[in-house]
Structures are given as C-alpha cells and as structure tokens.
Amino acid sequence: ATRARISLRTPPEYPFDEIRVRVQSNGYDAVTTVRRDATAEVDVPIWPGPPRITLTPERTFVPALMPGANNRDRRTLSVMLTRVQQLR
C-alpha cells in the first residue's frame, strides 16, 4: 500500500458544530474538518516500514463538564478514529 485512508467522526455527544484536525504522516501535513454527525476521510501517504500517522484535534471536551449535560464521563474526548484502510 502507498496510502492510507483515515476516517474520522465526532462522538454522539459532541458539543460543537465542527472540529479541525491536523493529520501528519511522513512529511505530509493537512487539516481536515469533521462536522457533527458526519464522517470525514483523508488520504495520507505511507512508505515501507511501520507508518506513523499523527492526529491533532484543535480542541477537546470533557462530557461531564459540559453545561446541561447529564453525563458523568470525565474522559477528555475529541474525534473518533473509525477506520484505517490501506490503498494502492
């Protein structure tokens, strides 16, 4: 495979309309926008050997700290990595 397709989605309780995520791999650097209740896909190059793909969201949230939320989840969350697919 020479590329990988990364699929990202926001969790159901995501409090914002969208989030920008920086995707880096082997010198490739891009920013994609993930909208609430939608999947965003980005293709990144990969080379032989173990690939390293870095995802950096512009912001995070803690469900338990969101105003009006009835959620006790104290994890720091952002986007969900839902799929990684090798492409030729």
Q: How far apart are CA 26 and CA 28, in angstroms?
A: 6
pLDDT at 15 > cutoff 80: yes
pLDDT at 23 > cutoff 90: yes
Q: What is the pLDDT of residue 65?
A: 86
Sheet holding 53-57, edge to edge: 28-35, 18-25, 53-57
Mean pLDDT, the chain, integer? 90
- The pTM (predicted TM-score) of the whole model is 0.84
Q: CA angle at residue 40 from 39 to 44, to 5 degrees?
A: 140
Q: What is the pLDDT of residue 34?
A: 96
- Please answer whether residues 34 and 55 qualify as being in contact, where contact means their C-beta atoms are separated by less than 8 angstroms: no
